[in-house]
Amino acid sequence: MYIKIIGKGRPVVLIHGWGMSGKIWEEFSKLMISKYKLYIIDLPGMGKSEIIEPYKIDNLIKKIHEEIPEKVTIIGWSLGGQIAMKYYLKYPRAVNYLVCISSTPCFLKKNGWEFGVSNNFFLKFKKDLLNNWQKTLRKFFLLQTQKDEDKENTLKRLENDFMDEQPPTKEGLEKSLEILEKVDIRKDIKNINIPTLIIGGKQDTISDYKASIWMKSKIKESEIFIFDSAGHIPFINYQRECFQLIKKFIKTG
C-alpha cells in the first residue's frame, strides 16, 4: 500500500474517499506539514496503491495498521471516515483522535436509517460503473461539487487529478464501492471512546449532514461543526477553516 510521508511533528493519517487518492489532500496538507508528520494513504486500486486480496475492510485495516505508527490522529473523509472509525474499533489503543469529514456510519438508506442514499440510486450507480466507469466517476464528481460556490473550478480539478493524471482502476472502484455498500457501524459506534471531531456540510448531497448529527449523539467525546454552505468536500472549499478546527481540536482534546 502506498503511503506518502511528509512533515514533522505528531503523526496524522489522512484517508481519502471513494474514487480518489491521497492527492485530494494535496493543498490541505500544505497547511499541516509544519506541525504534523502526515501519512497520506492511497487506498488499494487508487493512486499508487495496488489491489489487495481479499479486498475487504478488515484486510484493508490490517494493511494500514502494518504501515502506520501507534498513537495517531486519523482524519478520514467520506469512505475514509468509515475506514477511520472501523480502524479505531479494531485497534483502539493505536488511535488518539478521530476526525470524520462528510462521513456516515451507514451509506445506504435502511429501515430505521433515513440518512443514507436510496437503494435504487445506489444500484443504478453500481450498474453504470460496470458499464462505463469513466463516465460514472465524472458523474460522481459532479454530485460532490454541484452545491459548491466554486463548483466549476473544483470539478475541473477533480477531473484533472483523478481522471487524467492519476486514474483509479476499475477493480478498485468496484471493490471499494462494495465496502461502502456493506459497512454499517451504527451498533458499534457507541464504542468509540476517544475525542472525535465531526465535520459536515449542509449542502452535502452524498453524505447527509444529519448523519453527522446522529454520530455526535452516539460518540461520547465528540464535537461537531457543520458548514452551512459546504457540500461534500469542505476541506477544499473551506480549507483554512477546516484546518483551524482540526488544529484546535487536536491541541485541546
Mean pLDDT, consecutive 10-residue stretches, the chain (253 aa), reads 94 95 93 94 95 96 96 96 98 97 96 94 89 83 70 76 76 94 96 97 93 97 95 91 95 62
Per-residue exposure over 220-238, b if at least 16 CB sit within 10 Å of its own CB, e if not: eebbbbbbeebbbbbbbbb
Give the pLDDT of residue 73: 97
Give the pLDDT of residue 148: 63
Q: How many helices (H) and strands (E) does the chain have?
A: 10, 7
- 13: buried, middle or exposed (CB in 10 Å: 19+, 13-18, 0-12)? buried
Q: Is the dihedral of CA 228, 23, 129, 115 positive or negative?
A: negative
- 85: closest CA among 64, 114, 67? 64
- Cα separation, 43 vs 64, in Å, equals 9
Q: Are strands 72-77 and 36-41 parallel, antiparallel or unpaired?
A: unpaired
Give the pLDDT of residue 251: 81
Give the pLDDT of residue 165: 67
CA distances (Å), origin 60, targets 12, 40, 219: 18, 15, 24
Give the pLDDT of residue 146: 65
Give the pLDDT of residue 140: 82
The answer to whether 71 and 23 are in contact (CB under 8 A) is no
Give the pLDDT of residue 183: 95
